[in-house]
């Protein structure tokens, strides 16, 4: 498995919790940005000639904010210079306030077959406070356009004064709209974002309150037919995100565009976060990377465990043994013993017991050397 | 050139802390040309950084000065500086033995204070001539007449002609020098008698071995003299003698009446105990000088490296400190919670503080100290007796017949306004009221007997906060008393944390147990499981708190761009865990042990 990630760094406005590479004020550079992106796609495609990629994910930012011709062009470019497997999963992130039936039609015309919709919450006052540009009604309109499509909805937990009932109602809204996949993220107040001030003032929910809501909605989603396959991701059977699962299996991926990260041939590298720097680099045939590191074997082993244990299924020990030419149970005998009560360890797999998935850091740490 | 005995004056300066002892010493040296004003570093005698910062003297420093008096004769002055704090009373008393007189400094704004009195009595006990000086005349609030009256009333020393000086501004310093000659007697002693030299301090020099600071009482010592001390049978050959001016200056010999140093390739500071008498092997004195007493540690505490792997460094640091500090006692200690460390004995709380700070500053080591303890006498049911300085060494209750704890005699000086709060405090600290004297309208001396174990907890801080810092305090050990003591254990998840055990009075156990449990609750991070914190006496639980299990310990998302960052976060978390100590299955950050010892005055 291998994936392609494409970053679109434009938005109508910045959400109050967002610390991603998104630049509402730079939207005027859309045309030149995509020109550079196409060049990067071409260059990387030639470099990685011969490899087969199974998924494409267009994220942001808000990919749906730009004219659909740019997205169409990007996918065409990918198909031209990369080898995709048969029936690749191709996802695009959408903001409900920026889509039109025409855009969706265009997306579908180039093979986009999965949509990730940023619902966040079904309550307009909460959306407003998050500085989202859409309303609950916009979401329903968007869902209507996606009727019959494979789409996912993102929902946030931990907003100021949020109750578990509100989260459930938001989930209801997503399911009523036809979502086959739901991601629930605990709001993380990053330094430098407006919401960090709310956090400092104690207005956001505490970790304990978030945990309470989380555990309730895990059960709630299960009732509704959505199984948790990773800490924050729930899907109806068969609708799990292939692109994201590749990350947790420590598969390879190439990231294209501003701020995009890649992991190819044991090397992790990341493009610059600045649009101008990115474009300059591409135009002058220089590397847009700002960081790069080779992951040594011991680190690689830990990453494999750290990422794998995020999933419900956990780690395939045989795969580990094959990849790293060693015996998992021997390698981690101490950790397995120390954390025995929190894990399910069988001959072929290791996973965290469902009730401890939300307190997994301490368990994972036992596997760090 | 050797000065005639009648032209030598050996004296010290005694004072309450901050009354200007070191400043006066500096002025005297400056006036006698020992140090030029230009080279003068503020308070030359307090040479350790720590001493200068705290304004206290810890190690003694003798200085030799020459003064041409108004009578036209040249005099040699040996000024022996004395530590200014109650913890170092023993150091004060032996340096007094090297003198014939003492300058008693009294602050003209504060009058006689606790340590003025304690140190003046020590000087009187040692038959020294007391020469009062009233300092800080430069301050507007100076009231020298009242200070002089206090000296006369409280100490019974004539202060009518006491020089009124400002050590800070150099006012009337000459009067002090002249009075030293008139009032302080010249030493007597016999150069032809067998050698008797009092060791009043020592330090370790990497090249010369132990350097003994001595006052020659009788006889003469020079290079090549074969010497021994009365307490040790070892013999040494003198390699160097000299005086302090104020740096060490080599001389041919030291004769009776003189103050100086002796080096004799002595390897261990233990071989030349302070207070001991040096004599000549071939012509020994029949008996030593009187008054030798070993400095006994009164306060004990476990000292452990914050980072367990630094045990070796801590050992080196303590051994080096001990080379220059005979009062510090060290023995290896082992705690289930804190690993390998040392049980150290100190003269008092300040001494403990000073040692801790020196370890951290001079050796760049972070340490954890356990709650200070005192030494208890335990009388067992089988008729034997033992001394317990470490709570974990206390035998089971069933084997204890009864216990005794050290008691101190405390003198507290305070403005009358605070008498009520102080009485309340002393009562709370199990004190027994002894006496109260109104020294004048503005000051009262209160006398109490208090258990030392209450003093080492938070007495100083409480006294200060209750009197807005106005009260001063001094104490001396007054023996042992039978007491109803119990061992208070702290249990984490059912396991006793040995480093947190303390010995307390039965009536205090509940309160202390509750306080420590509350603090532990604040400092122990939440973990995978709920952690009960219990305080127990014997098998009985007397207080309980709970650290809830954490509920969320996960990153919200982890996709392609998050791996490196997430890994770094976990690495940081792992680093933090490495600094934790395990008590059974519970992990405690090392800092928590330090936090627990901090006393809250607001509570």
Judge whether B288 lies within some domain.
no
Residue scoring higher pLDDT (B502 or B298): B502
Nearest CA in chain B to A294: B564
As a whole-number percent, the residues of chain B with pLDDT over 90 amount to 45
The parent domain of residue B556 ranges over 486-597
Give the pairing type, strands B101-107 and B129-135: parallel
Contact A207 B552 (CB under 8 A): yes
Contact B321, B358 (CB under 8 A): yes
pLDDT tens by residue, B240-297: 999 887 778 899 999 999 999 999 998 877 777 778 899 999 999 998 887 666 667 8
pLDDT tens by residue, B115-155: 788 778 878 878 899 999 999 999 999 999 999 998 888 88
pLDDT tens by residue, A329-352: 999 999 999 999 999 999 999 999
The helix/strand/coil state of B454 is helix
Scanning the structure block, which residue is given the tokens 């009043």? B200
In the predicted structure, residue B602 carries a pLDDT above the cut 60: no
Helix axes of B89-96 and B114-125: crossing angle, nearest 10 degrees: 40
- How far is residue A336's CA from residue A345's CA, in Å, rounded to a whole number? 8
Secondary structure (H, E, C), A148-192: CCEEEEEEEECCCCCCHHHHHHHHHHHHHCCCCEEEEEECCCCCC
Question: What is the pLDDT at residue B347?
Answer: 82
Q: Is B140 on the interface with A (CB under 8 A)?
A: no
In the predicted structure, residue B158 carries a pLDDT above the cut 60: yes
Q: In chain A, what are the domain boundaries?
A: 2-247, 298-365
Q: B554 and B420 in one domain?
A: no
Q: Minimal Cα–Cα distance from B555 to chain A, Å? A: 8
Q: B157 and B30 in one domain?
A: yes
Give the ipTM of the model, two decimals please.
Answer: 0.91
Nearest CA in chain B to A359: B553
Q: Minimal Cα–Cα distance from B525 to chain A, Å? A: 12
The CATH architecture to which A2-247 belongs is Alpha-Beta Barrel (3.20)
Q: B216 and B123 in one domain?
A: no
Q: B169 and B30 in one domain?
A: yes
Contact A303 B573 (CB under 8 A): no
pLDDT tens by residue, B514-545: 999 999 999 899 999 999 999 999 889 999 99
Mean pLDDT value across chain B: 85
Structure token digits, residue B557: 């998302």
Nearest CA in chain B to A364: B570
Question: What is the pLDDT at residue B84?
Answer: 52
- How far is residue A49's CA from residue B68's CA, in Å, rounded to a whole number? 99
The helix/strand/coil state of B99 is coil
Q: Is B507 on the interface with A (CB under 8 A)?
A: no
In the predicted structure, residue B231 carries a pLDDT above the cut 90: no
Q: Is B578 on the interface with A (CB under 8 A)?
A: no
- Tally of structural domains, chain B: 5
- Residues A144-157 as b/e (b if ≥16 CB within 10 A, e otherwise) read ebbeebbbbbbbbb
- How far is residue B268's CA from residue A15's CA, in Å, rounded to a whole number? 72
- Other residues' Cβ atoms within 10 Å of the Cβ of residue B33: 11
- How far is residue B133's CA from residue A315's CA, in Å, rounded to a whole number? 83
Residue scoring higher pLDDT (A315 or B20): A315
As a whole-number percent, the residues of chain B with pLDDT over 70 amount to 91
Question: What is the pLDDT at residue B90?
Answer: 63
* Below-50 pLDDT ranges, chain A: none
**pLDDT-based confidence at B34, cuts 50/70/90?**
low
Scanning the structure block, which residue is given the tokens 């210079």? A81
Question: What is the pLDDT at residue B91?
Answer: 65
Chain B partners within 8 Å of A186 (Cβ): 552, 556
- Number of A:B CB contacts under 8 A? 91
Q: B304 and B331 in one domain?
A: yes
Closest CA to B259 of B105, B61, B83, B69: B61
**pLDDT-based confidence at B1, cuts 50/70/90?**
very low
- How far is residue A258's CA from residue A280's CA, in Å, rounded to a whole number? 12
On whether the A298-365 domain is CATH 3.40.140, my answer is: no
Structure token digits, residue B534: 């219990």
Structure token digits, residue B459: 């007495």
Judge whether B256 lies within some domain.
yes
CATH of the domain at B230: 2.40.30.10
CATH of the domain at B305: 3.30.70.870
Scanning the structure block, which residue is given the tokens 């290079």? B223
**CB burial class (10 A; 0-12, 13-18, 19+) of residue B257?**
buried
In the predicted structure, residue B168 carries a pLDDT above the cut 80: yes
The helix/strand/coil state of B442 is coil
The helix/strand/coil state of B270 is helix
Say which range, B16-30, B228-242, B391-405, B423-437, has the weakest mean pLDDT. Answer: B16-30
Domain final position from B370, B403, B420: B370
Question: What is the pLDDT at residue B38?
Answer: 42
Strand locations in B139-247 (E): 196-205, 209-218, 220-222, 226-229, 235-237, 240-244
If contacts are CB pairs under 8 Å, which of residues 446-465 in chain B contact chain A?
Answer: none
Please state the separation of Cα B290 from the chain's center in Å: 24
Residue scoring higher pLDDT (B270 or B503): B503
Contact B556 A188 (CB under 8 A): yes
- How far is residue A68's CA from residue B51's CA, in Å, rounded to a whole number? 75
Nearest CA in chain A to B569: A361
The helix/strand/coil state of A21 is coil
Q: Minimal Cα–Cα distance from B89 to chain A, Å? A: 52
Q: B591 and B503 in one domain?
A: yes
Q: B97 and B80 in one domain?
A: yes
Chain A partners within 8 Å of B531 (Cβ): none
**pLDDT-based confidence at B88, cuts 50/70/90?**
low
Measured between alpha carbons, how far apart are the two ends of chain B, in Å?
A: 64
Question: Which strand (E) or helix (H) includes residue B96?
Answer: helix B89-96
Between the CA of residue B217 and those of B65, B187, B279, what are the distances in Å?
19, 8, 10
Backbone angles phi, psi at B577, to 5 degrees: -65, -35
**Which ranges of B431-531 does DSSP label H, i.e. alpha helix?**
452-454, 460-466, 506-523
pLDDT tens by residue, A247-302: 999 999 999 999 999 999 999 999 999 999 999 999 999 999 999 999 999 999 99
Backbone angles phi, psi at A26, to 5 degrees: -95, 10
- Other residues' Cβ atoms within 10 Å of the Cβ of residue A3: 26
Mean pLDDT, range B191-219, rounded to an integer = 88
Question: Which strand (E) or helix (H) includes residue A281?
Answer: helix A275-283
- How far is residue A68's CA from residue A26's CA, in Å, rounded to a whole number? 18
Judge whether B50 lies within some domain.
yes
Q: B117 and B29 in one domain?
A: yes
Residue B200, Ramachandran bin (φ over 0: left; ψ between -120 and 50: alpha; else beta): alpha
Q: B84 and B96 in one domain?
A: yes
Q: Minimal Cα–Cα distance from B594 to chain A, Å? A: 25
Contact A362 B571 (CB under 8 A): no
Q: Minimal Cα–Cα distance from B334 to chain A, Å? A: 25
Backbone angles phi, psi at B163, to 5 degrees: -55, 135
Mean pLDDT, range B185-207, rounded to an integer = 88
Contact A310 B558 (CB under 8 A): yes
Mutate to test the interface with A, among B530, B531, B553, B573 (most CBs of A within 10 A): B553
Judge whether B47 lies within some domain.
yes
């Amino acid at each position: 498995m291998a994936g392609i990630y494409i970053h679109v760094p434009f938005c109508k406005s910045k959400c109050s919790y967002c610390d991603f590479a998104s630049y509402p004020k730079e939207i005027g550079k859309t045309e030149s940005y995509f020109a550079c992106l196409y060049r990067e796609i071409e260059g990387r495609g030639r470099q990685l000639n011969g490899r087969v990629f199974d998924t494409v994910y267009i994220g942001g930012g808000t990919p749906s904010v730009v004219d659909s011709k740019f997205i169409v062009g990007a996918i065409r470019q990918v198909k031209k210079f990369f080898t995709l497997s048969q029936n690749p999963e191709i996802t695009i992130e959408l903001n409900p306030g920026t889509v039109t039936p025409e855009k969706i039609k265009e997306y579908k015309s180039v093979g986009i077959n999965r949509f990730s919709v940023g619902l966040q919450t079904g309550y307009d006052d909460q959306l407003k406070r998050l500085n989202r540009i859409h309303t609950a009604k916009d979401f329903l309109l968007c869902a209507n356009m996606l009727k019959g499509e494979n789409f996912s909805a993102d929902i946030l937990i931990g907003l100021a004064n949020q109750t578990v009932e509100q989260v459930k109602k938001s989930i209801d809204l997503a399911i009523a709209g036809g979502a086959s996949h739901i991601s629930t993220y605990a709001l993380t107040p990053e330094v430098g974002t407006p919401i960090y001030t709310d956090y400092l003032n104690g207005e956001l929910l505490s970790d304990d309150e978030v945990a309470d809501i989380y555990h309730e909605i895990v059960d709630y989603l299960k009732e509704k037919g959505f199984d948790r396959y990773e800490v924050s991701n729930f899907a109806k059977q068969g609708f799990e995100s292939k692109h994201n699962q590749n990350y947790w299996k420590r598969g390879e991926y190439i990231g294209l565009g501003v701020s995009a990260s890649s992991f190819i041939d044991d090397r992790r590298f990341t493009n610059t976060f600045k649009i101008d720097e990115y474009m300059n680099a591409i135009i002058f045939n220089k590397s847009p990377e700002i960081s790069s590191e080779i992951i040594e074997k011991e680190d690689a082993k830990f990453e494999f465990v750290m990422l794998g244990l995020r999933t419900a299924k956990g780690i395939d020990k045989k795969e580990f043994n094959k990849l790293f030419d060693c015996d998992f149970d021997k390698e981690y005998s101490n950790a397995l013993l120390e954390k025995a009560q929190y894990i399910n360890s069988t001959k072929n797999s290791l996973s965290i017991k469902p009730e401890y998935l939300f307190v997994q850091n301490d368990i994972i740490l036992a596997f760090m050397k | 050139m050797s000065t005639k005995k009648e032209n030598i004056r050996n004296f010290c300066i005694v004072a309450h802390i901050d009354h200007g002892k070191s400043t006066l010493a500096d002025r005297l040296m400056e006036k006698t040309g020992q140090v030029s004003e230009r080279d003068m570093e503020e308070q030359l005698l307090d040479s350790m950084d720590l001493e200068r910062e705290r304004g206290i003297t810890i190690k003694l420093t003798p200085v030799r000065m020459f003064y041409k008096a108004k009578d036209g004769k040249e005099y040699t002055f040996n000024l022996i500086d004395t530590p200014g704090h109650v913890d170092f009373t023993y150091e004060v008393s032996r340096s007094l033995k090297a003198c014939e007189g003492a300058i008693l400094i009294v602050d003209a704004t504060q009058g006689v204070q606790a340590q003025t009195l304690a140190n003046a009595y020590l000087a009187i006990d040692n038959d020294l001539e007391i020469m009062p000086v009233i300092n800080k005349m430069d301050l507007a609030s100076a009231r020298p007449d009242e200070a002089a009256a206090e000296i006369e009333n409280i100490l019974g020393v004539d202060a009518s002609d006491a020089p009124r000086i400002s050590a800070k501004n150099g006012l009337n310093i000459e009067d002090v020098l002249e009075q030293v000659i008139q009032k302080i007697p010249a030493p007597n002693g016999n150069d032809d008698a067998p050698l008797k030299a009092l060791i009043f301090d020592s330090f370790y020099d990497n090249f010369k071995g132990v350097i003994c600071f001595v006052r020659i009482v009788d006889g003469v010592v020079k290079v090549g003299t074969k010497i021994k001390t009365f307490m040790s049978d070892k013999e040494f050959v003198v390699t160097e003698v000299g005086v302090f001016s104020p740096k060490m200056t080599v001389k041919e010999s030291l004769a009776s009446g003189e103050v100086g140093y002796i080096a004799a390739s002595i390897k261990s500071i233990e071989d030349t105990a302070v207070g001991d008498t040096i004599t000549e092997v071939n012509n020994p004195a029949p008996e030593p000088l009187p008054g030798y007493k070993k400095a006994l540690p009164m306060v004990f505490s476990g000292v452990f490296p914050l980072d367990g792997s630094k045990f070796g460094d801590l050992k080196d640091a303590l051994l080096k400190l001990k080379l220059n500090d005979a009062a510090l006692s060290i023995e290896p200690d082992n705690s289930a919670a804190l690993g390998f460390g040392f049980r150290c004995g100190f003269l008092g709380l300040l001494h403990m503080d000073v040692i801790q700070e020196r370890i951290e500053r001079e050796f760049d080591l972070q340490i954890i100290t356990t709650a200070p303890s005192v030494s208890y006498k335990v009388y067992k049911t089988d008729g034997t007796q033992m001394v317990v300085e470490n709570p974990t060494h206390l035998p089971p209750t069933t084997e204890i017949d009864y216990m005794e704890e050290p008691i101190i005699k405390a003198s507290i000086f305070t403005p009358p306004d605070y008498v009520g709060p102080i009485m309340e405090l002393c009562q709370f600290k199990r004190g027994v009221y002894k006496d109260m004297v109104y020294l004048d309208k503005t000051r009262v001396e209160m006398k109490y007997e208090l258990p030392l174990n209450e003093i080492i907890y938070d007495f100083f801080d409480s006294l200060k906060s209750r009197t807005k810092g106005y009260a001063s305090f001094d104490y001396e050990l007054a023996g042992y008393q039978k007491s109803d003591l119990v061992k208070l254990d702290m249990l984490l998840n059912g396991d006793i944390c040995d480093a947190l055990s303390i010995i307390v009075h039965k009536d205090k156990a509940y309160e202390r147990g509750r306080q420590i449990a509350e603090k532990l609750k604040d400092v122990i991070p939440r973990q995978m499981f709920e952690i009960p914190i219990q305080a127990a006496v014997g098998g009985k639980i007397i207080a309980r708190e709970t650290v809830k299990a954490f509920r969320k310990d996960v990153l919200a998302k982890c996709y392609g761009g998050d791996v490196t960052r997430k890994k770094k976060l976990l690495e940081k978390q792992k680093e933090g865990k490495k600094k934790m100590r395990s008590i059974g299955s519970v992990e405690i950050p090392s800092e928590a042990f330090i936090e627990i010892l901090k006393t809250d005055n607001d509570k």
